[in-house]
Amino acid sequence: MKKGITKPMLLLFVLISVLIIVPQVKAQSRSGSIILNPTDDACIWMQYPDNNYGAGSNVRTRNRYGYPSQPNHWEINSLIEFDLTSVPPGASIVSAKLYLYYFDCIFDNCTGRNLSCWRITGDWDEGTVTWNTQPSCTSVVTSYSVVPSGYGWMDWDVTSDVQAFLNAERTNYGWEMKDTTYWGSTSVPDANFYAKEYGDYIPYLEIQIEQAPSITQWGLITLLIIMAGIATWVVLKRRRVAAA
C-alpha cells in the first residue's frame, strides 16, 4: 500500500464501500408483487338460508333492508379466501389489496354504494357454506370501497390483515364483503362480481412484499467491514513500525 495513504483516507474508503454495497443488498431483497387467486369464494343469501352458492360464476352484495313489507330479508354477502403459503417467510408486507371485478348491478343504482370488507374469524368451505352455516367475522371493518359509475375492478385494502396472517397473529379464513348502508325501499341495489368459476376477471389478491436481507447478504456486508478493518490495522501497524 502506498506510503501516502492515511488513516482518514482508509476510513473514507470503508464508508464509501459500505454505502455502495448496502443499498444493493436491500434492492436485491425487495421481491416485488405476488398475485394470488382465491381457493374459495361463495355468496350467501338471507332470503334462501339453506342454499349453497359456491359453484356459481358470480358473487354479490346487497343490503338487507328493502321492501317495507319484508324489511329485514334481502341481504346477500360474499365470502372469499386465499392460500398465503407461497408468500416467502419473513416477508414484510408493503401493501395488500383484494380485487373483485364489478360487472353488473341489478336495478342500476349501485353507483356510490360503500361496500365493506370484514375479516372472517371462522372456518368455512365454498361447497357447503350457507346463510345458516356462515362463519363469524370481526366486529371491526377492514376497509371500504365505493362502487364506481362504470364497470371494472374494485379494490379493498387488506394490508393489516395479511400481515397479521403471516405473523400468525390471526388465522387466515379470508374476508366477507357486505353492503351495510341502509336502503329501506324497493329495488335494493345488488352489486355483482365475477367469481373464480367464471374463468376471466376473477378475484385476486395482490401483495407487495419486502424481504429482509438473507444471512448470505448480511455476511457480505460483515466480510467487507472485517476486511477493511484488517487493512486499516495493517497499515497503521506498518506506519508505527516505520516511525519507530
**DSSP string of 16-51, one letter each residue:** HHHHHHHHHHHHHH--EEEEE--SEEEEEESSSTT-
CB of 91 closer than 8 Å to CB of 211: yes
Q: Per mean pLDDT, which range of 9-13, 80-84, 161-165, 188-192 is the poorest?
A: 9-13
CB of 209 closer than 8 Å to CB of 87: yes
Which grid cell sits at 91? 416477508
* CATH (one of 3.40.1710, 2.60.40, 2.60.120, 1.10.287) for 32-211: 2.60.120
Which of 178, 159, 181 shows the shortest CA–CA distance to 170?
159
Q: How many helices (H) and strands (E) are present in the chain, helices listed first?
A: 3, 11
Residue whose C-alpha cell reads 362480481 in the numeric block: 193
Is the pLDDT reported for residue 226 higher than 80?
Answer: no
Is the pLDDT reported for residue 57 higher than 60?
Answer: yes
Mean pLDDT, the chain, whole residue set: 86
pLDDT of residue 76: 98
Q: If DSSP codes are grouped into helix, strand and coil, which group holds residue 218?
A: helix
Q: If DSSP codes are grouped into helix, strand and coil, which group holds residue 202?
A: coil
Does pTM top 0.75 for this prediction? yes
CB of 51 closer than 8 Å to CB of 243: no
58 contact partners, CB below 8 Å, separation of at least 6: 43, 103, 104, 192, 193, 194, 195, 198
Q: How many CB atoms lie within 10 A of CB 85?
A: 8
AA letter at 143? S
Q: Residue 54 — pLDDT band, cuts 50, 70, 90?
A: very high
pLDDT, one tens digit per residue, over 98-147 is 999 999 999 889 999 999 999 999 999 999 999 999 999 999 999 999 99
126: left (phi over 0), alpha (psi -120 to 50) or beta: alpha
In angstroms, the CA 168 to CA 124 distance is: 19
35 contact partners, CB below 8 Å, separation of at least 6: 204, 205, 206, 207
In angstroms, the CA 73 to CA 115 distance is: 18
Backbone φ and ψ for 112, nearest 5 degrees, come out as: 85, -5
